[in-house]
Chains A and B, each alone.
Chain A
Amino acid sequence: MTTVARGLIQEEKLIFEHSDPGRRGFDLPPLDVPEAKLPEEFVREEIPGFPEVSEVDVVRHFTRLSTWNYGVDGGFYPLGSCTMKYNPKINELLCRLPGFAHIHPYAPEALSQGALELMYRLQQALGEISGFPAVTLQPAAGAHGELAGILMIRAWHEAKGKARRKVLIPDTAHGTNPATAAMCGYEVVPVASDADGILKAETVRALMDEDVAALMMTNPNTLGLFESDVKEICDIVHEKGGMVYADGANLNALMGIARPGDMGIDVMHFNLHKTFSTPHGGGGPGSGPVGVTAELAPFLPVPLVVSEQGRYRLESDLPQSIGRMKAFYGHFGVLVRAYAYICTLGPQGLRHASEMAVLAANYVRARLEGAYHLPYTGRSMHEVVFSDRDLAGGCATLDVAKSLIDRGFHPPTIYFPLVVRGALMIEPTETESKEVLDEFCDAMLEIARQAAEDPRQLKDAPVRAKVRRLDEAAAARKPVLRWTPES
C-alpha cells in the first residue's frame, strides 16, 4: 500500500545565504589580450547579494534540492494528459554529442547537414505517424504549437478574404486552447459535450456557421474518450468553410492505430515531451511541432527544413507564411531525443506503446471502479477520469492526492478537466509494469477505505514529504517572489 520507507531529508538554505565574500566557484584562463575598459558611466556597481560560493557549495546545494523532488525515475507519476512515460537514457547521451550540443544555428548549411537531416527525418516521421503531409518543428511547446496552428488557420481565412470571428472549443479540450484563440484575436465559443462526454456531430452542426473560423478539439479528449464523431464533425466544419484544430497532447493513445490527418483534422500539434518520451525537465523545455494538411502548408512558420537531391537546407521563402514563432529552428536538443525514441521503437513498437498505454489505463480503471466514482463510462483510451463524489468522510480529491504522496506516488492531475467536479485524471502510460499499477491501485483503494474509517488521516496528508500542505492563499495575497539581502 505504501512504497515509502524512512529517509533523511536535509534542510538547505537559499544559495544566497551561503555566500561568503571572496568565495568563488569558477575560474577563467588568464587574459591573453590587452585589458579593455569601458567608460565609468557604462559600468554597474557590484550586485548586492549576488552569490559568492565555491564549487562544492553549488554541488551540495543543488544536489540537496534535487532530493526534495519527485521524478519519473523515482516512481510512478500518473499525471493525466502529461504522459509521464519513462525518459530513455540513450536519448540524453545522444543530444549531448558534441556534434549536436555544440553547433551554432548560423553555421553554414553545408556544415550543418547532419542536424538538418535529423530534423528532416523527424518531420517525415511525425508526418507519417499523424497523417499530415507537412510538419514544422519550430514551436517550443504544445501551447506554442497551438498558437502556430490557429495563426495558420486565421492566415488561411484571411487569404480567402474573410477572417471570421469565432472559435468553437468543447469543454473537454485542453486548458490552453481558449487563451490561444484569444491571442489570435478570436472570440471563444464554449461547446458542451454530451452527457456521455462525447462531442456530438449535431452539437457542432447547430453552432457551426460562416463566422466560425475553427473548432479546437482534443482526441482522445480530456476525459480519455475517443471522439467517435470526429470524421462527421470535421465534415460539418469543412462544409461551412471552417477548419479543425486538434490538440495532440493525447496522441499516445493512437500511434499506429489511427491518424488525425485521416480523420479530417486540418492541423495538430505534437507534444514531444509527452508522446515521444522527452523529459519534462521540471516544467520544460518541451517541443510542439505542428502537422498540417497540404491546404495549410503554405502558411507554415519559417524556416522549414527541405531536401533537395540528398542535401538539406532551411527554406524561408514562403510568401504566405505566418512568420517566425521563435528565434532559430526549434528546440533542437529535444528533437534529437524524439527522433531517437521513434527509431528505437520503430513502427510496431510505437503501436505497441499505444496499445499498452490504453491497456494500462483500462486496467487501473477496472481496479478502481466501484471505489471511486466514474462519471463517464465510455471505453477509456490512455487515461481515465474519476471523481471524488462517492468518497466518504467529507474527503475530496485534494485529500486523495496528498495521501498518495504519503504512499510514495505522484498524484494524478486533479480538478481537471473542469467538466468533472473533483476530477482525478489518471494516465499510467505504457512504461509502468503491472506490479507498479497494482501498488498504485492498492494505495488508491486503501485511501478510499480510510476516507470512511479515518478521514482525519487523509486531511492531514502529506505527513511524510519535506513539507506539509502549504498556504497558497497567503502566497498569493502577499507575494514574495524573490530573496533580498534584507529578507
Chain B
Amino acid sequence: MRYIPHTPEDIRQMLEAIGVGSVEELFSTVPASVRLDRSLELPGPFSEAELLREVRKLSQANAGLDHYSSFLGGGAYNHFIPAVVDHLVSRSEFYTAYTPYQPEISQGTLQMIFEYQTLICQLTGMEVANASMYDGATACAEAVLMAVRSTRKKRVLLSAGLHPEWRQTVETYCRYLELDLETVAVDASGATDAAALAGALGKDVACVVAGYPNFFGVIENLEALFALAAEAGALSVAAVQEPVALGLLRSPGELGADIVVGEGQSFGIPVSYGGPGLGFFASKQKLMRTLPGRLVGRTQDLDGKPGFVLTLATREQHIRREKATSNICSNQGLCALMAAIYLCLVGKRGLRDLAQQNLAKARYAREQLCALPGVTPAHSALTFNEFVLNVPGDLDALLERLAAEGILGGIHLKRFDAAMEGQLLVCVTEQNSREEIDALVRAIAGGVK
C-alpha cells in the first residue's frame, strides 16, 4: 500500500518497543462481541491507473458544462475561473493544513482569511465578516438563529423569493427551537410584497430575510423592505445567492441590512454538482460577539511584529459548549481561499465589468425569448442574470429535447413547487456567448411552435 510506509521489519521493531507480540494484541480492549468476524465487502484495492480508468468512466457519464451550453443557475453558477485560482489553491501548504490553531505556523491561512473577511465586508457593505460557513443555505439558517439570539424574539419572516432550498434549510435548523417561520409573499413583479411584509411585521419579529437578487433573479427593493423591518425593531437579513451582482448593485449594507449572508461559489469555485461551495456571513459591528463560526483578527507578536490569530473564541462550541453561538467547527477555508484569489484577480474594475456582462447577456436573452409566441416573462421587476419565463406546452419534454441538442435550457420550477408548472428559470452568465443564446432561442422557438 503506497500510502502506508511500514515494512514488516518496522512493524516488528515497533511491536517490540511497545512490548506486545502482535498487532492483534493492540486491539485487546475491543471485545469479541463487537468484532467484525469477516472481511469488509468493498471494491478495491485498485492501482492508481485502474482507479483513474474506473472513476473517469463515471465522470464521463455526466453532462459536463464543457460539452453543453448551460442556462442553469438557481444558486449554482457557471462563471469563468481563471487558471491562477486552481494553481494557487493546489499549493499543499494551503490545502494540507488544518484550522490555524497554531498561529505561528499558520500565518498564510490567517492572513488570507483576514483578507477574505475584508473582501466580504467590502462587497456586502458590512463591518465584520466571519471566516466562512458551509454554504449559502446554512449561512442563512445561522443568520436566523443569530437574529433570534440577539433580539430574543421568536417570529421570523422569510420572503417567498428566498431560494426554496435555503428556506428548507432554515426550517431544518429551526425545527425544534419553537420559532414561528412565516412566509411573506412575492407580488406580480417577482419582488417581496412590501404591503404584505408591513402587515406581517410586529414587535415580536426577530428578523426579515430577503434574497438579493432573489430566487427569481429579481433585484429586490431592500431599502423599502428593511426600512419596514427597522421600524418594527426587527433585524434585516439579505441573502445573496449570486454575489456577482454585488459588483454592480448597491450593497445590502447601504440598503439597511444588519446581516448579509450568501453563497460564494460564483467566486472561482467550480460548480461541482453543488458542493463544496462557500457560505459567507457578515454583519454590523454591534452583532460581532454573537457571530457564529471562526474569526481572524490582527495582533502583534512578542517582538511587536504584526500577525494574525483566531479570535473571540469564547463564542465558539469548544469553549462555550452548549451556550455557543453555533456548533460549527470547520469552515470552508479552501473555498474562502478560492474566493479571495478570484476577487483579487477580478478586482475593482473587473467585478463591475463582469456584473455588467451578466446583466447585458441575461437581458438580451430575456428579450429574445420573450419575443417568442406564447413565451412571457413571469415577473415584471428588473432582474440580474436570471429570470423566469412562462413557457407554453410540456416544459419537461421541451427541456429534454433541448438537452438532446446539447442545451441545458434552465430549471423547471415545478421541481420546487407544483404551482410553478410551466415556469422556467433561465440563467445567463458571461460564459454564454450570443451564439449560444441565439441557439437557445431557436431551440425553444422550435419547441413551442
Contact = CB atoms under 8 A, between A and B. Distances in A.
B4 A431 contact: yes
Contacts of B46: 343-344, 346
A342 B46 CA distance: 9
Given A31-B357, A71-B94, A328 B104 contact: no
B257 to A, nearest CB: 13
A111 B106 contact: no
A301 B173 CA distance: 12
Contact of B96 (A43, A57, A72): A72
Interface stretch (A202-210, A359-367, A386-394, A450-458): A359-367
A8 interface: no
B93 A70 contact: yes
Nearest to A56: B84
A282 interface: yes
A31 B363 CA distance: 13
Contacts of B57: 114
Q: Which 8 A-B pairs have the closest CB atoms?
A: A328-B274, A346-B44, A99-B59, A283-B333, A114-B61, A281-B334, A346-B45, A105-B274
Nearest to A13: B111
B63 A111 contact: yes
Given A471-B300, A479-B311, A42 B61 contact: no
Contacts of B311: 472, 475-476, 479, 481
Nearest to A287: B276
Contact of A367 (B17, B56, B103, B168): B17
Given A44-B250, A140-B275, A344 B44 contact: yes
Contact of A98 (B34, B59, B254, B353): B59
Nearest to B40: A347
B347 A23 contact: yes
A467 B403 contact: no
Contacts of A68: 93, 105-108, 111
Given A188-B321, A475-B311, A432 B5 contact: yes
B118 interface: yes
A24 interface: yes
A19 to B, nearest CB: 8
A47 B118 CA distance: 12
B165 to A, nearest CB: 4
A234 B39 CA distance: 25
A282 B100 contact: yes
30 contacts: A16-B115, A26-B347, A34-B364, A35-B356, A55-B345, A67-B93, A69-B93, A98-B65, A99-B56, A101-B270, A108-B63, A129-B40, A140-B275, A178-B322, A179-B327, A185-B176, A231-B33, A285-B334, A323-B169, A327-B163, A327-B165, A328-B273, A344-B46, A349-B45, A352-B1, A366-B18, A430-B4, A467-B301, A470-B104, A482-B118
Given A69-B105, A140-B138, A282-B99, A16 B54 contact: no
Contacts of A228: 29-31
A343 B44 contact: yes
A192 interface: no
B31 A433 contact: no
A356 interface: yes
Interface in A253-306: 254-259, 262-263, 273, 277, 279-287, 301
B300 A470 contact: yes
Interface in B322-351: 322-324, 326-337, 340-341, 343-351
B34 A140 contact: no
A96 interface: yes
B41 A347 contact: yes
Interface stretch (B70-78, B192-200, B369-377): B70-78
Contacts of B332: 281, 283-285
Interface stretch (B129-137, B152-160, B226-234): B129-137
Given A68-B93, A68-B105, A147-B327, 9 more contacts: A49-B122, A104-B63, A107-B63, A110-B403, A280-B330, A328-B75, A344-B46, A352-B1, A466-B104
B80 to A, nearest CB: 8
B417 to A, nearest CB: 13
B362 to A, nearest CB: 8
Interface in B63-121: 63-66, 70, 72, 74-76, 78, 82, 84, 86-88, 90-109, 111-115, 117-119, 121
B44 A342 contact: yes
Contacts of B344: 15, 25, 51, 53, 57-58, 61
Contact of B346 (A25, A69, A94, A285): A25
A258 B30 CA distance: 8
Interface residues of A, number: 206
A475 B299 contact: yes
B426 to A, nearest CB: 12
A115 interface: yes
B207 interface: no
Interface in A151-175: 151, 154-155, 163, 175
Nearest to A154: B176
A112 interface: yes
B395 interface: no
B388 interface: no
Nearest to A105: B274
A74 interface: yes
Name the residue in A178, A262, A381 with the highest tally of chain B Cβ atoms < 10 Å from its Cβ.
Answer: A178
Contact of B305 (A32, A462, A468): A468
A366 B65 contact: no
A47 B123 contact: yes
Contact of A467 (B40, B103, B411): B103
B349 A52 contact: yes
Interface in B237-260: 246, 248-251, 254
B171 A323 contact: yes
A470 B250 contact: no
A131 B37 CA distance: 12
Contacts of B1: 345, 349, 352-353
Nearest to A27: B350
A104 B357 contact: no
Nearest to A460: B302
A230 interface: yes
Contact of B297 (A281, A351, A479): A479
Contacts of A470: 103-104, 299-301, 307-309
Contacts of A77: 98
Contacts of B219: 38, 42
Given A26-B350, A66-B108, A182-B323, A102 B270 contact: yes
A156 B164 CA distance: 25
A371 interface: no
A128 B43 CA distance: 11
A406 to B, nearest CB: 9
B354 interface: yes
A105 B58 contact: no
A46 B347 CA distance: 11
A474 B39 contact: no
Given A147-B327, A176-B327, A328-B275, A58 B62 contact: no
B408 A107 contact: yes
A350 to B, nearest CB: 6
B271 interface: yes
B297 A262 contact: no
